[in-house]
Amino acid sequence: MKQKTDPLIQKLLNKQVNFQFHGMKLKFDLSMGLFSSFDIDAGTKLLLKTLAKEVPLADCKNALDTGCGTGVLGVCLKKKYPDLDMQFQDRDALAIAFSSHNAHLNGLKVDPSKFSEGLLLDGIDFNSQDLIVCNIPAKAGEHVIRDFITKAASCIRERGTVAVVIVDTLKDLLAESIKDSGCPLLYTEATRMHSVFHFGSSPSKGKIDFSRYIRKTASFKICDDRYKLSTVYNLPDFDQVSFWLHVSGEILHHTSFTGRSLFWNPGQGHLPVWLHSRMSNNIKSVSLASRDILQNKISFYNLKQAGFDGSIETYELPDESSLCENFDDSSFDCIFLNLNPIPKVKWHKDLAVTAAKLVKQGRFCFIMGRSSDMSLLEKHIQGFKTVMDERFKGNRGLLLKKN
- Looking at 208, 242, 277, the residue that finishes a domain is 208
DSSP notation for 32-76: TTSSSSSS--HHHHHHHHHHHHHS-GGG-SEEEEET-TTSHHHHH
Q: Are residues 279 and 373 in the same domain?
A: yes
Domain presence at residue 2? no
What per-residue confidence (pLDDT) applies to 140?
A: 78
Task: Judge whether 195 lies within some domain.
Answer: yes
Domain CATH for 165 = 3.40.50.150
Instruction: Answer yes or no: are the C-beta atoms of 154 and 201 closer than 8 Å.
Output: yes
Number of structural domains (the chain) is 2
Over residues 8-34, the pLDDT tens digits come to: 888 899 999 999 999 999 999 999 889
- Contact status, residue 252 vs residue 275, Cβ threshold 8 Å: yes
CA atoms within 13 A on the CB side of 201: 16
d(CA 122, CA 116): 10
Q: Are residues 115 and 219 in the same domain?
A: no
**Which residues sit opposite 378 in a β-bridge?**
none
Q: Sorting pLDDT into bands at 50, 70 and 90, what band is 1?
A: very low
Domain containing 252 equals 214-402
Q: How many residues does the chain have?
A: 403
332 phi-psi bin (left φ>0, alpha ψ -120 to 50, beta other): beta
Mean pLDDT of the chain: 94
Residues 200 and 222 in one domain: no
Tens digit of each residue's pLDDT (9 = 90 or more) over 81-103: 999 999 999 999 999 999 999 99
In a domain, 1, yes or no: no
Which of the listed residues 142, 174, 208 is the one where a domain comes to its end?
A: 208
**Same domain assignment for residues 254 and 373:** yes
User: Do 293 and 365 reside in the same domain of the chain?
Assistant: yes
Asked whether residue 112 carries a pLDDT value surpassing 50, the answer given is yes
Query: In 10 A of CB 363, how many CB atoms?
Result: 20
Same structural domain for residues 99 and 234?
no
pLDDT beyond 80 at 132: yes
pLDDT tens digit string along 213-226? 888 999 999 999 99
Indicate whether 111 and 218 sit together in one domain. no
Domain boundary among 208, 234, 268: 208
End-to-end CA distance of the chain: 47
Is 94 domain-assigned?
yes
Which of 104-113, 341-350, 372-381 is predicted with the least confidence, judged by mean pLDDT?
Answer: 341-350
Pair 381, 252 in one domain: yes
Q: Is residue 255 part of a domain?
A: yes
Distance between alpha carbon 150 and the CA centroid of its chain, in Å?
A: 22
Q: How many CB atoms lie within 10 A of CB 1?
A: 3
* Same-domain check for residues 144 and 28: yes
Alpha helix (H) residue ranges in 253-370? 270-277, 293-305, 323-326, 348-358
Directed axis angle between helix 72-80 and helix 42-54, to 10°? 30
**Do residue 223 and residue 302 come from a single domain?**
yes
